[in-house]
Chain A
Amino acid sequence: MGFTFALPGLALLLVFLAIPFAMAIGLSFTNLRLGSPLGIRWVGLENYTETLGDADFWKAFFNNVWFAAIVVPIQTALALWLAIIVNQKIRGVKVFRAIYFAPVVVVMAVAATIWLLLYSPDRGLINGFLRFVSFGVIESEWLDSTTMALPAIMIMSIWQGVGFQMVILLAGLQDIPNELYDAAAIDGASRWEQFRFVTVPQLRNTLIFVVTVTSILAFRLFDQVWVMTRGAPLGSTRTMMLEMVEVGFERQQIARGSAIAVIFFLIVLTATLVQRMVLKEEGN
């Protein structure tokens, strides 16, 4: 009976997740193209050597790394700070919680569209504000600039996503027993010491989870760049997922697209294994 219950779900998982995953690995060693009349042929590691020898791929990869290096610490720290201030027991705090979470509900494609206009160099609100507070001195080309385009996307991504992490961390904060703070206070611990020696250790697993998820998200980066820049200017916002869509879909090279997918998966797997290892360490 249990098997009958599970059957539809298991069949769907098999067809749409497990098999395609096995196919990604298998196809990455072939020359398969979409709609090609030529037969499929084994090509060994060719797709991998070509991908890893491609400057565009490395450009994309390092953009993802750069994105992760900046966004993961900043977004996690901000989310923790927000979680702490919306965990205060004061009237109306739930309204603020909802407001900080609201951008998550404004899905990424819409958020990216709004910010496209906010970032407009000429008439955008952000430059308007910067010119106003700096008496016309500070402004930026934002998405039109090779140095500022990716940071602009980072800022927008943090704005859109930080509420999600905030809520996860808030749940973690609320699980911390109040007695721990009371005990620390009796021992004369300052606010900072309470944070350092009670909050952070108690929140450790949640923080590790948030860091892992945000890191993986940084390598999945697609929606924002698809809507805002398509990798421009000069590849400065190119990402691995953009590269995969261009190779596997627009150029119809399923095999090489699969190789990029496998490389991407190895990165995700590494992040997950690191998370597990760090979590286990605490067990002792």
Chain B
Amino acid sequence: MSEPVPPGFTPTDAERDELRRHGILLTSLEELCDWGRSRSVWPLQFGLACCAIEMIAASMARFDIARFGSEVFRASPRQADLLIVSGTVTKKMAPSVVRLWNQMPDPKYCIAMGACAISGGPFKQGYNVLKGIDRYIPVDIYIPGCPPRPEALLHGLMQLQEKIRGQDITATAGPGGAPGSDCPVPAFGGHDLVPPQNETLWHPPALVRREDA
């Protein structure tokens, strides 16, 4: 290639593959940064219920989450990038989960693993279980299942990596566009948590139902 590169030249993926075959690697700081971030997602060592057993299984040799760069389960939220909410969040536990989330440094990501973390699951109509952790913290990936198999967790992690690869490194928001910084910690009230949800994060979906339905 004797021609000088014209200003504003952005190679297509095919052109970059062609260049790579000739030993030339073209990239941007953002791509490099997202590549690094997406392949070293360190989860917080934090389990709440039976989903945590599947999470442990995913970290062991048979499923081996290390293949995706996420084997470093950190015992401190200060060193973690990913909060896997693996299990039932009781209302008594919810403020602690939000506090752990606030203690994690940006950029940080959240996976709601299993039916309970998504919506309360089989305990949704109970008095003591939070009806989904997304009422208080922004969730990037939802993994359905009760509990999800380790493969499902790995798939969720791959989806998260995909999301991180599209992340703008200058943005302060998380990949989902939600504020990644501090979320208000709910207080214990006389009958329920106060407030019952973070209004900036969660609204009940507006379902219009027929009366006879």
Asked if chains A and B come from one complex, the reply is: no
